[in-house]
Structure 1
Amino acid sequence: MADIMGKKALVIGGSRGIGAAIVTRLAADGAQVDFTYAGSRESAEALAQKTGATAIRSDAADRDGLIKTVRDAGPVDILVFNAGLLVAGDPLELAADNVDRMIDVNVRAPYHAAVEAARAMPDGGRIVFVGSVNGDSMPFPGLAAYAMTKSALQGMTRGLARDFGPREITVNVVQPGPTDTEMNPADGPMAELMHSVMAIKRHGNAMEVASLVSYLVSADARGITGAMHTIDGGFGA
């Protein structure tokens, strides 16, 4: 998208998987990209060298640290929040601390990152959260808390779209279904079960998701805000 040439983009959680694909696509589109990583230093450094982006170590669970990272990035035209955790299991057995950390990363962090970015974001900026189709549909047991966090992104998106609309800052959430990454490989033990409830019986790939993000941050999408954009092969159909 030539219209984001030279725009400043910050991707929270960009060193691997979908995040790395978003960094790669935005950089290819001509944006000046910074991205954060928490623990994947080697992957982050390799991606930075490949794309010309700047890697920043920052833990999304650290509220004050995250806010500082966003502030220090300076005014950004584009914020993509991709960081996320998945804690799965019998809710009667899950450790409360693990669930709370997931809430910190999946809910509190995107809210605070978006608010801080909006303080200095130019009018007409773009905010995109990467959520999950599980915010709409949960056909399997053991993922109640995870689904809760992804549904929370939907309300956040609608509300912030209203708040930032007068400045023509759009706020959207992209909701991938099963996507071929290290976290959810296309040949993993759950793949056949996932494909059984999909209309297109294959995992998506990260670049497909990145292409949707690229569109949403472009000028062509200036009238799209407060919306959920599901890319899941019919998982939730």
Structure 2
Amino acid sequence: MKEATILVWSGLRGAVALSLSLSVKRASDAVQPYLKPVDGTMFVFFTGGIVFLTLIVNGSTTQFLLHLLGMDKLSATKLRILNYTKYEMLNKALEAFGDLRDDEELGPPADWVTVKKYITCLNDLDNEPVHPHDVSDKNDRIHNMNLRDIRVRLLNGVQAAYWGMLEEGRITQATTNILMRSVDEAMDLVPGQPLCDWKGLRSNVHFPNYYRFLQMSSYYGQPG
């Protein structure tokens, strides 16, 4: 309900409306008996006015609406992911600039005091940054919002893996579409149901008839 409220209040509503009104204005300028030039001008005037009001009123109050609905705070999971991303970016930056500092082909040594003045992350070049997972979190309990965020991140990783399989030629485009659709359906069910993308795939997977026979024979063939 909160997401729907934000979409209704701050959704994009100017581009399509202005395009349609301009097309009406262009059609009204042509010589035809059904639409007068003044009608096209009125379309552009009223549409532009509504778009302007939504930009001024809705656009300027969206932040307050987010705060009122409590949607401007990061969950513990998102905050941990953000800290881990910053940690990895800092490591890559320190590694790259460290190699540049020791590179003899770049000419005379650079003035690293000035470099560190403009690139503040290099101030920690001599200190190893602390891994975010090593920091104790007093509120590190899994509640519904954290669990939902973790599930969404996992499904995003599954989608990325499917795209990688498509680029490597391991699956076809049709198979990729089916797999992506199953993940999208699983994302829609994340808030209220367990994590599972098999429901969207079940109707597209057809096992041969002998598979059931082999499965039953292997089941009955197991020792008690």
Tell me, yes or no, whether TM beats 0.5.
no
More strand by share: 1
Q: What interval of TM-score do these two structures reach, taking the shorter chain for normalisation?
A: under 0.3
TM-score by length of 2: 0.23
TM-score by length of 1: 0.22
Q: Which has the higher contact order (CA 8 A, sep 6+)?
A: 1
